Amino acid sequence: MLTLKNEYSTFSRKSDAKIKLLKDVLDRVQRGENVDVEKALGTGDEQQEQEWRDVISNIEEEDRMWEAKDRRKAKKQPQEEDKTEVDGAEKVGEQGATGDMDSGNVKATSNVAKRSPVFY
């Protein structure tokens, strides 16, 4: 677990450093400064190019993991909403059985969320 945490910290530091360098170069170019972009980003230096490839692949992998997590969460969410609606209906039924009325003022209201029709 500790090794994984250290690897992630190293990845984060490297990624943050590379992103900061890229932002600095972009800012300088946008301000109109004369910048040797290839030299600043390490074009031609195999070691620096490999570092860029590693950082980009790690960021892409992390992005894929987050997207997969979001998809799983989106799939799971409708199932949880259905369960909540059933629980809410049972609670409303229980409240009606106990005779919750505001000092003789009777209002017919429902706390159950409206469901869209489901076709099978």
Residue 105 lies in a domain: no
Residue 72 lies in a domain: yes
Residue 91 lies in a domain: no
User: Tens digit of pLDDT for each residue in 30-62?
Assistant: 999 998 888 888 888 899 899 889 888 888 988
pLDDT score of 81: 58
User: Tens digit of pLDDT for each residue in 57-81?
Assistant: 888 988 899 999 888 888 887 666 5
Q: How far lies 55's CA from each of 1, 18, 72, 93, in Å?
A: 22, 8, 26, 56
Quote the number of domains for the chain: 1
Domain that holds residue 14: 2-80
Residue 96 lies in a domain: no
Residue 97 lies in a domain: no
**Residues sharing a CB contact under 8 Å with residue 42, sequence separation 6 or more, in sequence order:** 48, 49, 51, 52
Q: Is it the case that residue 2 has pLDDT exceeding 90? A: no
* C-beta of residue 59 within 8 angstroms of C-beta of residue 15: yes
- Report residue 96 as tokens: 């009606």
Band of residue 100 on the pLDDT scale cut at 50, 70, 90: very low
Residue 92 lies in a domain: no
Residue 106 lies in a domain: no
